[in-house]
Structure 1
Amino acid sequence: MKKINIVKQIQNNIEQHQLFESADILVVAASAGVDSQVLLESLAQIHDCSKVIVVHINHDMRPQAADEAEFVAKQAASYGFSYEALTWIKAKHPQSGVEAAGRTIRYQFLKKIAHKYQATKILTAHHANDLAETFLMKLFRGGRWEQLASIRWSRTFDEQSSLVRPMLNIPKAQLIEYAKINALPWFEDESNQDLIYTRNRIRNTILPQIMAENGDALNQINQYAKQISDVDTMIKEQVSLYLKMIQKTQDWQQIPRTWFQATLKEYLAIKLPNVSIKQAQLQQIEHLYYNVNHPNGRIRLNQEYELVKTYKKLDLLAITIKANQQQNLVDNVITLNEWYLLPNGGKFIVKQKTTQPQDLNNNAIIIPFHLEPNAWPLHLRNRKRGDKLTLKNGHQKVTRVLIDAKVPIEERDLISIMVDAHDQVLWVVGYKANWVNADQVNYEVHYIPEIK
């Protein structure tokens, strides 16, 4: 293995990847392990020590945890760094999912300390072996290809700070060698040898076998991860252009099909940052959107949201909001010669037909009807399954009326339906009415689509 100057390499990484500036306040997530100790010793040589805050979280998982916390505190003090610590006592650990809960605790505490010191950079001691292990774990687990970018040099942590890894291309063996040469103390975590964990099996069994086959395997895996990261960056740049097009029209046919899933994934990530969208869902949505036999459809993303296809458009709807809207739909008895306001902002009035001149609004649409005395009272109600209009030569389902009018599927249950006393449909308000013989017209609806 080629020897390198660790401190010089870290400096080069910081400059090449623009990880932080000399004026930046740094929060360093540190354990008692060799990688963290090398990072702290290096920072003491290349950064203003008054601008470094060492953070240690004691997860209370091992007998030596308290000793490790005390050790990290002493090391931080020896370099002139500030020190912050948190002990997550075992009594507060959940019965299952301890690892995920611990990650949440760490990130919350790091965020708290970063805000306390107004730090813009949070450093971790991830190294080349960590990157290779993560790459292999994700490769074995399966998923989306861009996840193979593995651990990146930097990423956004929150609205104020970034998470950076200045040792990502340095093998752990070189960190150990550097620590020994410079007499740096550290603790070994015995749990890292427990093969019950997937990462430990990769670290202690699989990765060493790969490196025995190819001594440069770490570097090559990291290069693959970098290439994937670079391609992912280029894709995101192109996707951002497509997203601007979508924001204007919601017409997804503007997007080449080869870019559909990538654009949709980013669109949903922006709209629903806390919702995990699976690859299978993206494939289902693509299949629905390009299925010419189904101009309308919907796919539920989770308990709260669904994606609705309406011809060329895709709309993200909150299911709970839609349910609330349906509760507010009209259900009124219609009285002759009274104006009725509609949810869409329009209005109408029912009048008896007369040969006398009437004071009509010039914007009104006149809709003729023939109503027998037993047709009263008329009602406005919601659409029902099986509703249909009477035409000159048959019937037409209300659903077909709305489809032909290209009414979005999520709006169809909001359309008002005028019916007679026998619940027979007379008028799909704003769209189509029953056919009537001109000689039999005895009532008229004066309909104004929008109130001016």
Structure 2
Amino acid sequence: MKHPAEEKFLKTVREHDLLKPGDHVILGISGGADSTALFSLLADFCPGILPVTLHPVHVNHMIRGKAADSDQQAVEELCRSRGLRCRSIRFDCIGEARRGNMTEEEAGRKKRYEMFDESAEALIGQGIDRTQIKIATAHHADDQAETILLHLLRGSGADGLAGMEYRRKDEAGFMLIRPLLDCRKSELRDYCSVQGLVPRVDQTNQDPSYGRNRIRLELLPYLKSYNPKIEDALIRLGKSAGEDRAYLQKQAEEMYRNCRIETDAPGTALHRGKAAELPHTMRIRLLRLALADAGLTEDFTAKHLEALDHILCSGDPSAETDLPHGLTGRCVYDRLEIGNFQEDRSSAKGDGKESGPAGRVCVFAAEDLPQGLVRGTYACFDEEKLVRKYGENAAGKICWRRRKPGDFIAIPGGRKKLHDVLIDDKVPKNRRDQLYFAALGSEVLFLPAWKKGSGRARYSHSYLVEENTKKVVLVEKNCRI
């Protein structure tokens, strides 16, 4: 007889189509009961039922000193006992939080997801298809209840009441899955006990100075005096709101296709008349889709959406409103356009003009490569391979420029047009002709991350650095560009 956690895990995976045989699963594992249980379910329970390849990832946040180091050792030993290698990283969470003016929770979460995406990119570099890569987190039903309550306190709207989704794409386009979202915390702890697993205990989970901890340690116990089963009530609310969200989103996507206008101009455009006739709730969803199409998926608020909705319905043929990251919403008679129009007017377009200050090119002995390079802003290549293709002083021929017709980049098994790469990476139209990259002739060597704060970058796979590489060509973007 299966343990309740096993039954719920399999039911969730099947009902929400989270995993398929042959998938590669990047698993965030802290060593706590939740991630340890998910590790066991994937590593021990799944092979005969749903065979997948596991890639465990552990982030040592260095907040608890020796205890955090012990957690890392325990996680790595657990992985070795299953014949798996755990990719671990030590990360100064407190220092990064101070430097980035964010909470430790935010800094830790940001780093974990960067690690997940880096691991996914490495798998693509090994020839694994993107659709076979899943990033699994151990969020469970109790986490869901806390999330819904947190969203309620923040006033995040009806969609926020749905809480976390079973599956969604992250910023880099990788599929994020939550196979334990129907399991209760108590069931996962019991599963670990039955399996003889000894999870690590993170004492910071008892620290009420962290926002989510206060909800779990103080608010939920207080609410239980009104409803002893408050978590069950919140989970039911989330499921109901999630069904409504899924239905409304599907309707909005169909309406967006009907209202969207194909255009060669920067950003995206909507037919004002068609969009303005929709109910307010559908217009807001429509505008969210339009913002995403224009490259804005975060850092906007309900006020920005309401401002867009106001000019959409205003009847003013030239109304405008400012949006984050230099974007503008503007009306042009019967169209609502969203894009970076000032940049489009003021910047040279598609001329391939070279720019010295855009970045640097340096040659180093492999062992002398500088430390502290920023992810997404640099790439390294084997000098000897470049010389074989482009002759002596190949590094000196590398230039930084914007795109021009015929540009391509080498990928595993062949090459791809730069135009297609930019589309795949969802670079907004108005940004594509403004990006600087390192190139040799028409071959793109390195395309830096186009989005601030993202490590998503592209590099040629023809000249990769290997163990026997003697000299490394470093191409690094000037971060002011």
- TM-score norm. by structure 2 comes to 0.62
Matches of 2:95 and 2:79, distance apart in 1: 27
Which of 80, 84, 88 is matched with 1:81 structurally? 84
Q: C-alpha displacement at 1:40, in angstroms?
A: 1.7
Matches of 1:69 and 1:24, distance apart in 2: 26
In 1, are the aligned partners of 2:60 and 2:72 still within 8 Å (CA)? yes
Q: 1:140 to 1:91 in 2, by over 3 A?
A: closer
In 1, are the aligned partners of 2:272 and 2:313 still within 8 Å (CA)? no
Q: C-alpha displacement at 1:212, in angstroms?
A: 5.1
Structure 2 match to 1:34? 33
After the TM superposition, which residues 9-28 of structure 1 pair with which residues of structure 2 at under 5 Å, given as runs? 9-28=8-27
Matches of 1:90 and 1:303, distance apart in 2: 27
Q: C-alpha displacement at 1:115, in angstroms?
A: 3.0
In 1, are the aligned partners of 2:25 and 2:52 still within 8 Å (CA)? no
In 2, are the aligned partners of 1:50 and 1:81 still within 8 Å (CA)? no
What SS class does the counterpart of residue 285 from structure 2 fall into?
helix
Structure 2 match to 1:253? 273
Which of 342, 345, 348 is matched with 1:320 structurally? 342
* 271-280 vs 235-244, greater mean Cα deviation: 271-280
In 2, are the aligned partners of 1:171 and 1:218 still within 8 Å (CA)? no
Structure 2 match to 1:265? 288
In 1, are the aligned partners of 2:22 and 2:52 still within 8 Å (CA)? no
In 2, are the aligned partners of 1:27 and 1:123 still within 8 Å (CA)? yes
Deviations 1:408-439 (A, max 9, x none): xxxxxxxxxxxxxxxxxxxxxxxxxxxxxxxx
Following TM superposition, where does structure 1 have runs of at least 4 consecutive aligned residues deviating by more than 4 angstroms?
Answer: none
* 263-272 vs 27-36, greater mean Cα deviation: 263-272
Q: C-alpha displacement at 1:19, in angstroms?
A: 0.9
Q: C-alpha displacement at 1:319, in angstroms?
A: 4.2
Q: C-alpha displacement at 1:323, in angstroms?
A: 5.3
In 2, are the aligned partners of 1:120 and 1:160 still within 8 Å (CA)? no
In 2, are the aligned partners of 1:26 and 1:123 still within 8 Å (CA)? yes
Structure 2 match to 1:300? 322
Residue type of the alignment partner of 2:230: A
Give the CA RMSD over aligned residues.
2.6
Structure 1 match to 2:359? none
Matches of 2:339 and 2:55, distance apart in 1: 44
Residue type of the alignment partner of 2:278: R
Residue type of the alignment partner of 2:40: E
Q: C-alpha displacement at 1:322, in angstroms?
A: 5.8
What SS class does the counterpart of residue 82 from structure 1 fall into?
coil
Deviations 1:87-141 (A, max 9, x none): 1146863423243333222112111222334461111111111111111111101
In 2, are the aligned partners of 1:289 and 1:309 still within 8 Å (CA)? yes
Deviations 1:231-286 (A, max 9, x none): 22222222222222222383221132313222112111221234532112222232
* 85-94 vs 223-232, greater mean Cα deviation: 85-94
Does structure 1 residue 61 correspond to structure 2 residue 63?
yes
What SS class does the counterpart of residue 192 from structure 2 fall into?
helix
Q: 1:300 to 1:91 in 2, by over 3 A?
A: closer
Which of 99, 120, 138 is matched with 2:105 structurally? 99
Matches of 2:176 and 2:295, distance apart in 1: 22
In 1, are the aligned partners of 2:9 and 2:182 still within 8 Å (CA)? no
Does structure 1 residue 172 correspond to structure 2 residue 195?
no
Matches of 2:335 and 2:176, distance apart in 1: 37
Instruction: Extract unaligned runs of 5+ from structure 1.
Output: 327-452
Count of residue pairs brought into register by the alignment: 323
In 2, are the aligned partners of 1:153 and 1:166 still within 8 Å (CA)? yes
Matches of 2:114 and 2:226, distance apart in 1: 41
After the TM superposition, which residues 205-284 of structure 1 pair with which residues of structure 2 at under 5 Å, given as runs? 205-211=218-224, 213-248=226-261, 250-255=270-275, 256-258=277-279, 259-284=282-307
Q: 1:144 to 1:106 in 2, by over 3 A?
A: same
Q: 1:324 to 1:115 in 2, by over 3 A?
A: closer
What SS class does the counterpart of residue 296 from structure 1 fall into?
coil
After the TM superposition, which residues 41-56 of structure 1 pair with which residues of structure 2 at under 5 Å, given as runs? 41-48=40-47, 51-56=53-58
Structure 1 match to 2:331? 309
Deviations 1:154-200 (A, max 9, x none): 11136663111111111112222333344321221111111122211
In 1, are the aligned partners of 2:20 and 2:52 still within 8 Å (CA)? no
Residue type of the alignment partner of 1:253: G
Q: 1:251 to 1:43 in 2, by over 3 A?
A: closer
Matches of 1:305 and 1:23, distance apart in 2: 41
Residue type of the alignment partner of 2:72: A
Q: C-alpha displacement at 1:50, in angstroms?
A: 7.6
Residue type of the alignment partner of 2:321: I
Deviations 1:278-304 (A, max 9, x none): 112222232333334x44311111351
Does structure 1 residue 150 correspond to structure 2 residue 156?
no
* 161-170 vs 233-242, greater mean Cα deviation: 233-242
Does structure 1 residue 196 correspond to structure 2 residue 196?
no
Instruction: Extract unaligned runs of 5+ from structure 2.
Output: 263-269, 349-481
In 2, are the aligned partners of 1:22 and 1:47 still within 8 Å (CA)? no
What SS class does the counterpart of residue 283 from structure 1 fall into?
helix
Q: 1:206 to 1:260 in 2, by over 3 A?
A: same
Matches of 1:16 and 1:242, distance apart in 2: 27
Which of 104, 109, 117 is matched with 2:115 structurally? 109
Which of 132, 138, 142 is matched with 2:151 structurally? 138
In 2, are the aligned partners of 1:52 and 1:82 still within 8 Å (CA)? no
